Amino acid sequence: MPAVPARRRSATYKDRNNETDSDDEEDEDYQIPDNERATVLFDFNRERDKRLADVTNIPEGRYTEQEKDLFLQLAMRGFEPLAPKHWQFDFPTLPDSLFPEEGKRQSEPIITISRSTTFYAIKSLNNLFSLSGRVRDCSIVEKNPETLIKQTISRYIRWALYDANLEINRASMPIHVLHAQKKNESVRDALERLNRRLKKLALRHRMALAASDTLNNNKLPLLIGFLICGPVVALMTFDLNLIKGTPEDDEMNGKFFSQFDFSEKGQDVWNSLSIAIVVMHIRSSMVRLARSGYGGYVKSLESSPASEDL
């Protein structure tokens, strides 16, 4: 990941630390010379262009078009805006590149708010960002982290769908699956179980699509599976566009896509950001499907998300 440039102390930091010395005051007054500022900006843009060139040069056949879109979003994390500009005050330690730059034409932030309050949105994201630290705490108290990780991801998905005014019930067609490795379950068995669940979900979609006249093949969703084994979250994908309605469809399996180790120090933000990107991808797909009258997603209740879920 790109090196995070040093940031100046925020006003909130100064409020929490009333004692200052001469060195701190010099840091506050120091200004980056124009020529150095231009170099920093140039290096960031050059690194961004280099990263974009690397990720767009994917070997033919490795990913489907929908998988490429998700892969590109994950690979470019840190180079694209994450959240609205005013959230920066609540996340002062995040690099500036994760927030829109005023006066600069950029893509829309990955995380946006539709109906939730800013308070709940920020609290949900903060809970996700704190996951790595809590996972490492599990190793200290000799507790398995799978349940904690699954609950945290599930809660963030629940907030994301609530914000989009969507809710999944028994009659709905979800496009994601979560499985946490069980006690005495091998990694292989956990992987096979998630794959079976993805295939079963794909079969439900295939049957629903056969009876649907509101969705064309260009809008079929990408199914995403979260496999949680220890501190590692692995992603599997199943692209419904590959289904041709032939007997060979039964032989299709989910595809390993990526993995994130939440016990790895120095990767707290980037791993959580990856999960947030995947969840936003799921939400965007479900919103698009709901607008086409597909999926059976019901309107969520008007009440706010329960505090225990955040």
Q: What are phi and psi of 116, to 5 degrees?
A: -75, 160
Return the amino acid letter for 153.
I
pLDDT digits (tens, 9 = 90+) for 122-165: 999 999 999 999 999 998 998 999 999 999 999 999 999 999 99
In the block, tokens 């960002």 appear at 129
**Tens digit of pLDDT at every position of the chain (310 positions):** 455 444 444 443 344 444 444 444 433 443 434 443 444 444 666 776 676 666 677 777 788 889 988 998 898 888 888 999 999 999 988 888 888 887 677 678 999 898 889 999 999 999 999 999 999 999 899 899 999 999 999 999 999 999 999 988 888 899 999 999 999 999 999 999 999 999 999 988 888 887 777 666 667 889 999 999 999 999 999 998 887 766 677 778 899 999 999 999 989 999 999 999 999 999 999 999 888 888 888 776 655 554 444 4
Predicted structure pTM score: 0.79
Please tell me whether residue 80 adopts helix, strand or coil conformation. Answer: coil
Calculate ∠ Cα 177-183-187, nearest 5°.
60
Q: Could you give the angle at which helices 118-129 and 146-163 cross, rounded to 10 degrees? A: 160
